[in-house]
Amino acid sequence: MDLMVCVGSSCHLQHSRELIDRLKALILENNLEDKVELKGSFCMGQCAEQGVCVRFDDQVYSLTMDTVDGFFQDKVVAKAKS
């Protein structure tokens, strides 16, 4: 499964680098290295005032450091287990 994180300029200003580091840690913590591939993406055309765009399973989410853990559990871990 691909987890695409936008590294476009607007998302970069919303700390996409930090978010990528957190996602990497979550992948390791949940032993999903074999299942989830983290990739960078150009602007997804959905720049938000708050949050970094992340595409997963054909949906785009706008994530912050406060919401990334919940997203990971609810979407990524749930999908990996299904």
Q: Please report, as ranges, the residues that interact with ligand FES according to CB under 6 A.
A: 6, 8-11, 43-44, 46-47, 53
Least CB distance to ligand FES at residue 60 (A): 8
Least CB distance to ligand FES at residue 62 (A): 9
Nearer to ligand FES (CB atom), residue 44 or residue 80: 44
- Phi/psi region, residue 60 (left: phi>0; alpha: psi -120 to 50; beta: rest), is beta
Nearer to ligand FES (CB atom), residue 9 or residue 73: 9
Locate 2 and state its tokens: 């691909």
Q: In the beta sheet, which residues pair with residue 6? A: 41
The type of residue at 39 is: K
